[in-house]
Structure 1
Amino acid sequence: MAANVALLSASSPSTSASSILRRRPRPRRSACPRRAASRLSVVAAMSDDPIKEWILTEGKATQITGTSSIGGGCINAAQRYDTDAGSFFVKTNRRIGPAMFEGEALGLKAMYDTKSIRVPLPYKVGSLPTGGSFIIMEYIQFGRSRGDQVTLSRNPFRSKKKSALGRKLAEMHKAAKSDKGYGFYVENTIGSTPQINTWTADWIEFYSKHRLGYQLKLISQRFGDSAIYEKGQQLIEKMHPLFDGAVIEPCLLHGDLWSGNISADTNGDPVILDPACYCM
């Protein structure tokens, strides 16, 4: 995982809050005990909150002017942090460790590097002192017409926006061809469900084993539905003749592209969020 985390342009997710504090110079002794005690209490408070610590050090802010809750869905909580250096978008999960957000950050950075469709740039992933994890990323102000990207309508303005989304996605796919086959650098999650991304040379093998096969396995384990499992296996066995002769070139996909993960910025340009990236 360490090698893959280097994809992030900001501080590595594996960098702990304690290691950041260790790199900071020791404060000089003050002639005023109260002032020295005040500084120590600020440092202690920062060490208890790695989100504020990153924002006030590597985030280049000198003060946080406000925070506000943003709907984060049924899995994560989300907040906007306003500072004198701009705003940051922060997601937290009090039950799940940083691996889930590390996978999201790597996917966001991979899409961001294509310089095609707009995605929020991830800055930092880490663990919360009380358990769970967080991810800090670029805050993008959405326009009023978030649903216009996918809403079926005869309105030509909305049709133009859907066309822009399609073109930008095509640009991303063309810009991020995979020379490693089908899969991704790390396992990630689609929602809260694990997604297996082991690199595989053959498309049908990857899809039948790590997508259909894995989902069928989860269904069987959770619900004991042998009928669905058997029908799924029959479909997997027929995939080779169904795609015989098809030429499929692996490229980067968002992996969880539905209306809830599509928006538009204040300029009306499409934005995609919350990926479960892999190459296929």
Structure 2
Amino acid sequence: MWNLTRWILLISNPSFEAKCVCVCVLKKKKKQEIEMVAQLGVITSTSSCHLFRSSHPFSLRLQKPIAMATVSTDPVREWILSEGKASQITGISPVGGGCINLASRYNTDAGSFFVKTNRSIGPEMFEGEALGLRAMYDTKSIRVPQPFKVGALPTGGSYIIMEFIEFGSSRGDQSLLGRKLAEMHKAAKSEKGFGFHVDNTIGSTPQINTWTSDWIEFYSEHRLTFQLKLAQQQYGDSAIYEKGQRLVKNLGALFEDVTIEPCLLHGDLWSGNISSDKNGDPVILDPACYYGHNEAEFGMSWCAGFGGSFYNAYFEVMPKQPGFEKRRDLYLLYHYLNHYNLFGSGYRSSAMSIIDDYLRLLKA
């Protein structure tokens, strides 16, 4: 356990676009210790620290409800030895974690469980993760770890218990990943429009998911404008804000003759959140879920390594819409802006370049 004022992993080449770096800035709080462990390579890995902020209560009634814990001396052990159907826990071992969570593998005579705990944040953070995992799990398309229980720790903080997945030796087949992801998008649609049941985060940045009937309005207001305002507030960057607002007001021309359905998106699909199980089937992890235009799922493609076989297989299930190539950078822009807000000026030029290109294209 480390007690730090700041912890920063510096980016050695800020202009890179071939890989992602996990950068976490943790501010010291009085009488508070933050448990930090290395980047998780077993169940959860993120491009940045994931903190959860929700303006909604966890009241969604799921088809397969995730049990909520009552506080006990050790609620994790209690659940595993009762509802987890284990008679004994044979071992507990650390498996690494994201920037702020402690992650452990619980071995039992009923199999293994994956447990994440956080000593300073309440259950709402893991409730949002569990909702996203459950929504994806219920599509019965691409494999995700099944969430079992979310609850409060008796000494403060929270935990989530989920399925432990044994990973294979590689990220798996790209074409299979493309097809399975498309099957998820095709299977899960929302009648409420674009958004999600709770607000969540993209990295440690709040991600607002208020239900909206129009996609262009949702993406403009809750994705691009939100990030542009953060950049203005955080860096005083009025130039990117003003240009970005000009783009936002002219997005309609990029969506002519396009049918947009609210598909369930993973929301943060980069290489660290993609793996495969021991059978070679793709596994996706650590979601920032919402219902949106399926093309928005490729917004982290600059950090995901998607190749031609991935896209070919995807579009066999979800046909490519007119103007896809013109819109591709629009969805990258959200994530570049978020990286700018999280990690600093190294990402500003990429975001501004996309905005300038669109302003020229749209003559805005």
User: How high is the TM-score relative to the length of structure 1?
Assistant: 0.80
- Alignment equivalent of 2:142, drawn from 105, 117, 120: 117
| Aligned-partner Cα distance in 2 for 1:11–1:169 | 24
Query: Helix, strand or coil: the match of 2:142?
Result: coil
Deviation (angstroms), 1:3: 3.5
Aligned CA-pair RMSD = 1.5
Structure 2: gaps spanning 5 or more residues: 1-56, 293-364
1:210 paired residue number: 222
Aligned length: 236
Deviations 1:40-63 (A, max 9, x none): xxxxxxx22211111112111121
Cα distance per residue 1:1-30 (max 9 Å; x no partner)? 3531x32735433x423xxxxxxxxxxxxx
Contact 1:188 1:276 in 2 (8 A): yes
Q: Which residue of 1 aligns with 2:180?
A: 168
User: Does the CA-based 8 Å contact 1:79-1:91 persist in structure 2?
Assistant: yes
1:244-267 per-residue CA deviation (whole Å, 9 max, x = no partner) reads 332211110101100000010000
CA distance in 2, matches of 1:242, 1:163: 28
Is the alpha carbon distance of 1:86 and 1:272 closer, same or farther for their aligned partners in structure 2, counting shifts above 3 Å?
A: same
Letter in 2 for 1:108: L
Rounded Cα–Cα distance in structure 2 between residues aligned with 1:224 and 1:130: 40
- Specify whether residues 10 and 178 from structure 1 end up closer, same or farther in structure 2 by C-alpha distance, changes over 3 A only: closer
Residue 130 of structure 1 is matched in structure 2 by 155
- Go from structure 1 to structure 2 and tell me whether the alpha carbon gap of 1:130 and 1:219 turns closer, same or farther (over 3 Å shift): farther
2:67 aligned residue: 12
Q: How far apart, in 2, do the equivalents of 1:2 and 1:272 lie?
A: 23
Larger Rg: 1
Counterpart selection for 2:120 from 95, 98, 101? 95
Three-state SS of the structure 2 residue aligned to 1:3 is coil
CA shift, 1:187, in A, is 1.0
**Structure 2 residue aligned with 1:108:** 133
The counterpart of 1:253, out of the listed 258, 265, 286, is: 265
Query: Structure 2-normalised TM-score?
Result: 0.62
Relative to structure 1, is the Cα distance of residues 96 and 220 closer, same or farther in structure 2, using a 3 angstrom cutoff? farther
Structure 1: state its 5+ residue gaps: 18-46, 150-160
Aligned pairs for 1:59-78 (under 5 A) are: 59-78=84-103
CA contact (8 A) 1:75 1:191 kept: no
User: Given that residues 199 and 207 in structure 2 are in contact (C-alpha distance below 8 angstroms), is that contact kept between their aligned partners in structure 1?
Assistant: yes
